[in-house]
Structure 1
Amino acid sequence: MEIEAVSLLIARATQVPRRTKQLTKGLITDTTLLAREIAEKEPLITERVFSQLVGSLDRLQARLIADGNVQQYSKFKTLRAHLLPLTNVAFDKQGKKCITGSYDRSCKLWDVNTGSELHSYEGHTNVVYALAFNNPFCDKILTGSFDKTARLWSTENGECYQTFWGHTAEVVSVRFSPQSDLVATASMDSTARLFSIVTGQETSVLQGHTAEVIAIQFNNDGNQIITGSFDHTVGIWDTRTAKRIGILTGHQEEISNCLYNFSCSLVASGSMDTTAKAWDPRTLSCIATFAGHTDEVLDIAFDLRGRRLATGSSDCSAQVWDVYTSFSALATMEGHVGEVSKLCFSPSGMQLLTASSDSTARLWDPETGNCVQILKGHKDDVFSCAFNYRGDTIITASKDNTCRIWR
């Protein structure tokens, strides 16, 4: 319990408002004093684990300083991953392994340091579109396919543990519950489904949407889940009863993505109606509408503190918004000459990474909107990108059938 408390408090410590933001401006936080301040408010932090809290804060501070120095990345490895274009890519929690999905009906597991293929997961009979690790354990992989199934695999020996049946159309999003006892799948058949990892049996069908369900995410406790649909709405569900307990209504076109912030106090949604919205999931009310793009919003991402929201659009730009105080625009990132289909913040939030159909990925300063680096080399659309846990490695995936590791 005490070790878990340390992890929880470190996560909360990253939300200290301006103290950590000053690290790159020459003001270094006294981590021992900060730890004492946290311990005074949190009875779970005892003297037994106090030193662990200080050590973790020291590591966090070092990471923030390193990220604030604006690391320049260069190509480290090229993974010539598949025979046909890739669909998705994901790091494990430590950033030592990654998985790729492809139109060639397979998923592959890679060693990031060596670039070697560790396992090829074959068994799906159509495109492997959705991927997930069961973080933080990372001993299992979940894949979703256009063959209407999802599969559970071992990262250790490549064995297929379970095949999850029930959908009547393509599976386009998959998630592990926080406890890794359930998996959730979203499908073009207008439903989401929950399955037991142990038995492989379907435990719930989440019915209510009137069009394709394309996004899904558990809250931190695993007792609720959100779903984004082409019916213009986001659904909130109780995973214990499979009942829809809320509908977020207000978008005028299809939902492209929906996410909880770090504390699950906010839900964000992006839409083809050119806007993103922030919602209070308790009152089901729209807190803010972010209207700055001139074309479809294709992707959204919270920083890890849940205080800023980034949006990527078909108008070739990305924008960053305050979702903590003013709910206003903070920066606009312009420079891509193709749509921005994927984006993510670095672990410290000091950089924003975007992937574009112009065959490049770009790194930006999310406070100024300045482009700090262009990652060139792919021969076709870059449709996915991610930072590893430490923020010192980037992966990009392209329709040119390759992934690139940047360090």
Structure 2
Amino acid sequence: MDFTEYLPGEVTDRILSYLKASELSTFSCCCVTWREISNKDNLWVHHCMKRGWMRFGLFMNILQTDSTTSPKTNISNTSPVFHMYVPEETRLSPICKWKNVFIRVHHLMKNWEKGRYSSNMILRGHREKVTALDCNGECIVSGSEDKSLRFWDSRNGSCIHKLDVHSDTITKIVWKGNCIVTGCADSSIRVIDSTNKQMLMSFQGHGGSVDHLVIIGKKIVSAATDKTVRVWSLTDRKLLHIMRGHDDDVECMCSHGNQVVTGSWDSTLILWDIDKGKFIHHYTGHHEVINCCQFDDNKIISGSADCDIRIWRKSPPECLLVLSGHEGEVYCLVFNDAVIASGSSDSTVRVWSLNGKILHVLEGHLGVVRCLYINEERLISGGDQKKIIIWDYKKGKQLYVAHRHPTLLHLMWVDDTKLITASPERPGTITVLSFW
């Protein structure tokens, strides 16, 4: 007996809404009628929403995102390429949008989990070390000690444009919307239109290398080796504020809302209000340079050469916790709603709870752990000796080493489908690992 013949459609839909995705797939394989009944967006959008995959159908249309990988270039059984077999002649209706999204994203997540990726793209063109990198998903922009900016097609690795607008090493690149902002050791800031690759404006004023940049709305915030933080207007093309407070060079900077936090060689953190152009709070407690920091509405987390990580209450300023355990400088950190992860010169990655408890010590690197990336599914660490490791940070387990990564790395950029690194070697190279 086919129960769907005797029940109203809305009742059948309600029953099917209680099935797991795997059960719904099995149900659809039983017969043509059940396949058609289960081929509905309202059933599959629930499973995408439950897994946090809505962005793939709303903002990044994975249905129109072709794989960047050629199957011929892959080692046997490691190809990340997605193929969906659809008979030329079929009486079945087309797969609904959100089932299609679910199937493709499930395949993508399995690629990350199982280590199915290609590494057939090494981008060559810079004559010196690559010192800055950013990407919008489709195009990569890189800066180098050779003073040039290069734009690369992330799908085929071709250099699509070269721009010479700086007179010294390019130290920082930030890409937001159609706006690319670059900082340079010549103390200048350049603003470039990403669509036509033309320079729109230039800012001068810093007395040292501009090593840190963020874009907040229509403002640029920069920090340089002259110990100052400056706010510039993209609309009026002028300097708005010069903010002073550090006694030494700024080593790290991050933003949240209309505020930025800077960490310095003077061992302090400062929270700044960029609208008013003044510092809000000063945070003291570290004993060495602060290499990294991140913050949200309530807390600031910092890592230092004194081997400690500190969690601060943002306002009123107070050190809430000191996370000790690393035996070397803390070079990088990331956090989400569940955990904090830190990388150190002691070759370990440590995972902490938000209340300061050590959860996992992840070993596998040789040398400094320089880069970290975290999302809901995985933690990725990049370090010396060409090593990139993908971790299940919830279980404290190494999933795999991206062993086909061909070069050393000191910069890393990650999105849902690819992992991009830049080498500190000369001449500079960029490597793209594609998981789709």
**Could you state the TM-score of these two structures normalised by the residue count of structure 1?**
0.78
Distance 1:406 1:240 in 2: 39
Partners of 1:238 and 1:158 lie apart in 2 by: 32
Relative to structure 1, is the Cα distance of residues 27 and 87 closer, same or farther in structure 2, using a 3 angstrom cutoff? farther
1:336 aligned residue = 365
The match for 1:251 is 286
1:327 alignment counterpart: 356
Match of 2:113 among 62, 70, 73: 70
Query: Which blocks of at least 5 consecutive residues in structure 1 are unaligned?
Result: 1-22, 37-48, 50-54
Query: Match for residue 298 of structure 1?
Result: 331
CA pair 380-393 structure 1, distance change in 2 beyond 3 A: closer
SS at match of 1:70: helix
* Correspondence list, 1:8-19, <5 A: none
Check the 8 A contact 2:249/2:266 in 1, yes or no.
yes
Give runs of aligned pairs for residues 1-400 of structure 1, distance below 5 A.
Answer: 32=46, 63=105, 66-67=108-109, 70-72=113-115, 73-92=117-136, 95-134=137-176, 137=177, 139-177=178-216, 179=217, 181-220=218-257, 222=258, 224-261=259-296, 264-303=297-336, 306-323=337-354, 326-345=355-374, 348-376=375-403, 381-388=408-415, 391-400=416-425
Query: For the structure 1 residues 203 and 64, does the alpha-carbon distance in structure 2 shift closer, same or farther, using more than 3 Å as the test?
Result: farther
Q: Compute the displacement of 1:214 (Å).
A: 2.2
* Contact 2:44–2:102 (Cα < 8 Å) also in 1: no
- Checking the alignment, whether the CA contact within 8 Å between 2:130 and 2:143 is kept in structure 1 is yes
- Number of equivalenced pairs: 349
* Cα shift at 1:122: 1.4
The structural deviation recorded for 1:296 is: 0.3
Q: Aligned-pair distance for 1:375?
A: 2.4
Matched letter for residue 244 of structure 2: Q
Structure 1 pair 27–253 and aligned structure 2 pair: CA distance change class (3 A): farther
What are the Cα deviations for residues 275-334 of structure 1, in whole angstroms up to 9, with x where unaligned?
11122212212222221210000111123xx432211111111112222xx331222221
Shift of the 27–70 alpha-carbon distance from structure 1 to 2, 3 Å rule, reads: farther
| Distance of 2:21 and 2:396 partners within structure 1 | 17
Contact 1:24/1:65 (<8 A) preserved: no
| Cα-to-partner distance string for 1:23-75 (whole Å, 9 max, x where unaligned) | 99999999659989xxxxxxxxxxxx9xxxxx999969985885366041231
Could you say if the C-alpha distance between residues 78 and 194 of structure 1 is closer, same or farther in structure 2, counting changes exceeding 3 Å? same
Report the CA distance shift for 1:287/1:167 in structure 2 as closer, same or farther (over 3 A).
same
The alpha carbon displacement at 1:256 in A equals 0.4
Q: Deviation at 1:208?
A: 0.8
Q: Deviations over 1:178-211 (max 9, x none)?
A: x2x0001111111111111123311011101101
Deviations 1:264-285 (A, max 9, x none): 3221111111111122212212
Identity, % of aligned pairs?
Answer: 25
Higher deviation after alignment, 360-369 or 251-260: 360-369
1:372 CA drift (Å): 1.9
Letter of the structure 2 residue corresponding to residue 321 of structure 1:
W
CA contact (8 A) 1:353 1:385 kept: no
The equivalent of 1:39 in structure 2 is none
Residues of 2 paired with 1:121 and 1:380: CA distance? 25
The residue number in structure 1 matching 2:29 is none
The 2-side partners of 1:152 and 1:24 are apart by 47
Query: Which secondary structure state, in structure 1, belongs to the residue aligned with residue 113 of structure 2?
Result: coil
Pick the structure with greater CA Rg. 2
1:151 corresponds to which letter in structure 2?
A: R
Q: Give the whole-Å Cα distance in 2 for the aligned partners of 1:257 and 1:269.
A: 6
Shift in CA distance, 197/26, structure 1 to aligned 2, threshold 3 Å: farther
CA gap 1:26/1:169 in 2 versus in 1, 3 angstroms: farther
Could you say what secondary structure the match of 1:382 adopts?
coil
3-state DSSP of counterpart to 2:306: coil
Q: Which residue in the other structure is 1:52 paired with?
A: none
Which residue in the other structure is 1:41 paired with?
Answer: none
Is the contact made by 2:229 and 2:244 (CA closer than 8 Å) also made in structure 1?
Answer: yes
CA distance in 1, matches of 2:134, 2:170: 13
Aligned residues of 1:174 and 1:186 also touching (Cα < 8 A): yes
